[in-house]
Structure 1
Amino acid sequence: MLFFSSFCLLLCILPLAVLCAEDFYKLLGIDKSASDREIKKAYRTLSKQFHPDKNPNDEAAHHKFVDISEAYEVLIDQETRKIYDQYGHDGLAQHKQGGGPQHHDPFDLFSRFFGGGGHFGHGGGQRRGPDMEVRVDVPLRDFYNGQETEFSIERQQICEDCEGSGSADGQVETCSVCGGRGMKIQKMMLAPGIFQQMQSMCDSCGGKGKTIKHACPVCKGSRVVKKASSHSLHIEKGMPRDMRIPYENEADESPDWVAGDLVVHLSEKEPELGREDEERTDGTFFRRKGKDLFWREVLSLREAWLGDWTRNLTHLDGHVVRLGRKRGQTVQPNSVEVIPEEGMPIWHEEGGHSAEEFGALHVEYVVVLPDQMDKAMEKEFWGVWEKWRKKSGVDLAKDSGRPVKSSHDEL
């Protein structure tokens, strides 16, 4: 009686489980008319995103990874896809009970695409491919404000059409020449009765140990192709320009190894006026050194000598820094004014940028003298100069302590 009750309960639960199962097309983010290529592309992207090695201690990601693998295996096979399209999850369940193919280990499926036994990581005795290093030029504005952007690189990827087998029909055979070792041994006679064994790469299989009869038309049997790959780049406020950002397992792929890391080196782009209005700011030509910014402001002789001027310096985020002197306030050539809290955001590796911390802005003043002067203006200036010199001028030659060769007074 107890067995009968349990069996009835199981029959009631199974339809509910089938109804709750997520639609395979929605799970992979594709349409029902998706081609095999689109199905493979969706699987490759999602399986890397939700792989347990990249989401440790995340049960939801692990279940998602398993579900993605199941969805791929069903939709990539023409027979099971047709059953699923017509009868849904219930039809698949009946197909399995009738002796249909069972689902494989999701990690085995993953390894067919990415190599390395189905796992990411650098341990476990798995062969790991080389790292890739690229430089991405970033304008100073993005270092100041922070930015989410994208960059593309060309890298080696496992062929999607043959899933890295190199075979058009999926048939791969052990090389009959080297017996699958990829190497062959040759004997060379050095002298009568004396032989030397030499090991060399098998010419028949190219050292792979496997041969194919019908090469994949896309990769020509090489199992990999060169393709452009896009990646998101998150730049935090105040990041140093020599920052190295790693992307785990995003280097060249191969069926023979676990992909290495892609390492992005941030560098500062040479300043140039942008095309958009918000990019045409004075801040485009700031210079950066660590947490501080530097700016060179040009003044005329009148402004440096007499004051009574203002400047509105537009910063990298659009806010205005006010520069100026009141009438009678002079500015010495090449003098530097330090304005606190107007430099770069201060970035901490542990916690990013603190909204309260900024470096300083260093403004260097350059005074431009007139190339020539009108005769009447020169005469008037000279008269004013002489009058002031006689009243309270300073004899620089006398005050310097050097021998006075000729009388030469300065204001």
Structure 2
Amino acid sequence: MRLWGILSLFLLAIVVMAKRDYYELSKKYHPDKNPGDDSAQTRFMEIGEAYEVLMDKEKRAAYDNFGHEGLQGGGHQQQHHDPFDMFANFFGGHQQRRGRPRGADTSTELTFTLKEFYNGLDTDFSLQMQNICDKCSGSGSQDGKTHTCSQCNGRGRVVVKRQLGPGMFQRFESPCPQCQGSGNQITHHCKKCHGQGVVRGDRKYNFHLQPGTPRNHVEVYRGESDKSPEWDAGDLRVKIVESSAGNLGYRRVGNNLYRTEILTLKEALWGGWERTIPFLDDYDNTVLLKRAPGEMVRSGEVERIRGRGMPVANSVDEYGDLFIQYTVLFPAKAGIKDEL
């Protein structure tokens, strides 16, 4: 009787775990959270089925004796199907995936000056990436031949039994150690990739920096992350960063540009000056600032020059504005008379 008591407590613990994991997984794979994802919808239905069988004594008995056929009203040849294997598959360490898995994304950065952001450019860059071996087409075999793994019979997974307590075991699936989960074995390994099916090497890309591209824009190259025969490649994500150098004294805020200009006290009070400052545009590379005689400028005054800001991305001949803030440089008291 004591063993039955221990077993009952063990089963109760599994049921409690199943309820907790059911709610977590059903939220994760709910169709409303995964619109258009057929695999998530299938997963959601399978999780519901596993939970329903585990929680219902009659359905659990039908599954135990006849498997899925018993749940569908058929199945007259009695077999033993442990309903807690269904629990382990859906709520335990091994969660099945439908279809090919997706590889991880790769992130990198490209840095450009503000002048380059203004004018735009085309540039090539290369990255060390994992590629499918071109000698064996990803098979890992020198002669292109593979053989079914003798340990897992081509499934890629084996059933492992783990003892939880006296007389109590848990069965779960894990990748086959003999074929590393591929289901196949290779007799003659490819000399280039040494049987791995993949090699690392430079992969070249082209990037077009559009005039006015926003700072920290992320360019996505679909399916250009590390490649492997075992998964669908993720994306390469390139963050476009602005360098702190090469800005010619301009600061960018949205589509507008800002710059500070220093005036002497004489220029600020009497006017009658003009100066040409360098600008970012490759074709119109200067800006003229001037004041008529007698036109005073206060320290902190801001001049707005319309249409001389950054190009607006994805537009035709549309620009922000340029704002010039003037700062008046006051001489020491002893030199004010000489300054004026």
TM over 0.5: yes
User: What is residue 4 of structure 2 aligned with on the other side?
Assistant: none
User: What is residue 291 of structure 1 aligned with on the other side?
Assistant: 255
- How well do the aligned residues superpose, as a CA RMSD in angstroms? 2.5
Q: Does 1:321 align with 2:287?
A: yes
Secondary structure, aligned partner of 1:358: coil
- Report which structure shows greater RCO (CA 8 Å, sep ≥6): 2
Deviation readout 1:36-74 (Å, 9 max, x if unpaired): xxxxxxxxxxxxxxxxxxxxxxxxxxxxxxxxxxxxxxx
| Cα separation, partners in 2 of 1:259 and 1:198, compared to 1, 3 Å | closer
Query: Post-superposition shift, 1:170?
Result: 2.1
How do residues 11-30 of structure 1 correspond to structure 2 at under 5 angstroms? none
User: What is residue 332 of structure 1 aligned with on the other side?
Assistant: 298
User: What is residue 47 of structure 1 aligned with on the other side?
Assistant: none
Which protein has the bigger helix share? 1
Query: Post-superposition shift, 1:372?
Result: 6.7
User: What is residue 343 of structure 1 aligned with on the other side?
Assistant: 309
Query: Post-superposition shift, 1:201?
Result: 2.3
| Cα separation, partners in 2 of 1:130 and 1:191, compared to 1, 3 Å | closer
Secondary structure, aligned partner of 2:248: helix
Amino acid at match of 1:342: R
For structure 2, the residue ranges without an aligned partner over 5 or more in a row are 1-97
Q: Is the 8 A contact 2:248 2:278 kept in 1?
A: no
User: What is residue 353 of structure 1 aligned with on the other side?
Assistant: 315
Query: Post-superposition shift, 1:257?
Result: 2.0
Secondary structure, aligned partner of 2:115: helix
Query: Post-superposition shift, 1:245?
Result: 2.0
Provide the C-alpha distance between the structure 1 equivalents of 2:113 and 2:126, rounded to a whole number of angstroms.
Answer: 17
Q: 2:201 aligns with which of 227, 230, 243?
A: 227
| Cα separation, partners in 2 of 1:326 and 1:161, compared to 1, 3 Å | same
Q: Is the 8 A contact 1:153 1:229 kept in 2?
A: yes
For structure 1, the residue ranges without an aligned partner over 5 or more in a row are 1-123, 273-282, 385-411
Secondary structure, aligned partner of 1:284: coil
User: What is residue 208 of structure 1 aligned with on the other side?
Assistant: 182
Q: 2:231 aligns with which of 240, 254, 257?
A: 257
Query: Post-superposition shift, 1:341?
Result: 0.7
Amino acid at match of 1:288: R
Secondary structure, aligned partner of 1:143: helix
Q: Is the 8 A contact 2:100 2:230 kept in 1?
A: no
Amino acid at match of 1:136: L
Secondary structure, aligned partner of 2:204: strand
Secondary structure, aligned partner of 2:118: helix
User: What is residue 243 of structure 2 aligned with on the other side?
Assistant: 269
Query: Post-superposition shift, 1:297?
Result: 0.8
User: What is residue 24 of structure 1 aligned with on the other side?
Assistant: none
Secondary structure, aligned partner of 1:285: coil
Q: Does 1:244 align with 2:218?
A: yes
Say how many residue pairs are matched: 241
Q: 1:173 aligns with which of 136, 147, 150?
A: 147
Deviation readout 1:250-275 (Å, 9 max, x if unpaired): 11111122222222222212223xxx
Q: Is the 8 A contact 1:237 1:353 kept in 2?
A: no
TM-score for both structures, normalised by structure 2 = 0.64
How do residues 29-44 of structure 1 correspond to structure 2 at under 5 angstroms? none
| Cα separation, partners in 2 of 1:193 and 1:298, compared to 1, 3 Å | closer
Provide the C-alpha distance between the structure 2 equivalents of 1:207 and 1:266, rounded to a whole number of angstroms.
Answer: 38
Provide the C-alpha distance between the structure 1 equivalents of 2:280 and 2:165, rounded to a whole number of angstroms.
Answer: 80
How do residues 57-136 of structure 1 correspond to structure 2 at under 5 angstroms? 125-136=99-110
Secondary structure, aligned partner of 2:288: strand
Provide the C-alpha distance between the structure 1 equivalents of 2:187 and 2:332, rounded to a whole number of angstroms.
Answer: 83
Which of these two proteins has the greater Rg computed from alpha carbons?
Answer: 1
Amino acid at match of 1:236: Q
